[in-house]
Structure 1
Amino acid sequence: MNRRSALKNLSMVLGTTALPSWAYQWNTQSFTAAQGPNTELLGAVVNAIIPETDSPGAKTIGAHLYIERMVKDCMSKEDQQAFQNGLQKLVSSALKNHQKAFQQLSSQDQINLLTGLQNSSMPEDNQFFKRIKGLTIASYTSSEYFLTQHRNYTIAPGFYHGCVPVQ
């Protein structure tokens, strides 16, 4: 087992336990209307990872907004720069291979580019894919939609009844 990889994964898991309060049961109203320069690109990426089917996709629930906020608020400057470099690599490979922006590609071409990053021999490409996929899944599974529609989440799951006969 690769110790360095295990330590990175452990730090990612432990890092998610210290998330800000807005990161739990969020919805699209949780974020301000200000969007960054990569909002459209991130929307296309998360839509390729969790597309819309009979249930809303990641872009529909606003996972790209969550990811932008996570990158801005929770990552170090070095990690933010690595994330931006990964996005730029994705843009440049889309332009090089298909002569189109990533957002304008067909869903199959988008998936092929992301799979290329996943299977890349360059560790920074592989790490970027793991990070974007992990953030997409984390944003989807912590969204208000997922928690209320698929997990039957309630804020107060039980009630205290003090006058109940005990048998």
Structure 2
Amino acid sequence: MNRRSALKNLSLVLGTTAIPDWAYQWNQQSIPTYQGPNTELLGDIVNAIIPETDSPGAKSIGAHLYIERMVKDCMGIEEQQAFQKGIQQINVLAKKNFQKDFGKLATKDQLSILTGLQNSTVAEDSQFFKRLKGLTLASYLSSEYFLTKHRNYTMAPGFFHGCVPVQ
């Protein structure tokens, strides 16, 4: 086994487990305010990945804000720039293919762009979309809405009854 790739994979695993305190059972009010240059575009993209149905979509619960904060807090400068470049690339593709911004496209057109990125033969594009989709799912599944409404999450799963007669 190649020692460099093993160390790289180990650092990726260890790096993803060290997330900040605010990232557990988060909601829009608990995220420290930070808005990057592509906040609205990122909101439209995560809304295309997890759209609104009978439950709130990713944009409604603020997944795009969570993702931006995770990128800012947990990625290096080069990774942040590559992530922002990938988000802008989605808008460039939308303008090139449909002559509109990504947020103004019909749902099927948005999905065609995202599917094209996912199935791209260019490794950089498919890796970017894989990371974006993973962050979107992680943000939605760790949100206060999902944990309390769909997982019956309680802060302390058991109760201590100290004054109970011993039998």
TM-score (norm 2): 0.90
Cα distance change of structure 1 residues 138 and 88 upon mapping to structure 2, 3 Å threshold = same
CA distance in 1, matches of 2:136, 2:8: 18
The code of the aligned residue for 1:61 comes to I
Aligned to 2:43: 43
Aligned to 1:162: 162
1:1-167 aligned at under 5 Å gives the runs 12-167=12-167
Does the residue aligned with 1:114 lie in a helix, a strand or coil? helix
**Residues 34 and 65 in structure 2, CA contact (< 8 A), matched pair in contact too:** no
In the alignment, structure 1 segments of 5+ residues that lack a partner are none
CA distance in 1, matches of 2:20, 2:12: 15
Question: Which runs of structure 1 show a deviation greater than 3 angstroms over 4 or more consecutive aligned residues?
Answer: 3-14
Indicate the RMSD between aligned Cα atoms, in angstroms. 2.2
Does the residue aligned with 1:155 lie in a helix, a strand or coil? coil
**Residues 120 and 126 in structure 2, CA contact (< 8 A), matched pair in contact too:** yes
In the alignment, structure 2 segments of 5+ residues that lack a partner are none
The code of the aligned residue for 2:48 comes to A
The code of the aligned residue for 1:82 comes to A
CA distance in 1, matches of 2:54, 2:15: 32
CA distance in 2, matches of 1:17, 1:78: 20
Number of equivalenced pairs: 165
CA distance in 1, matches of 2:9, 2:25: 24
Percent identity over paired residues: 75
CA distance in 1, matches of 2:82, 2:123: 12
The code of the aligned residue for 2:55 comes to S
CA distance in 1, matches of 2:61, 2:146: 9
Cα distance change of structure 1 residues 14 and 166 upon mapping to structure 2, 3 Å threshold = farther
**Residues 34 and 68 in structure 2, CA contact (< 8 A), matched pair in contact too:** no
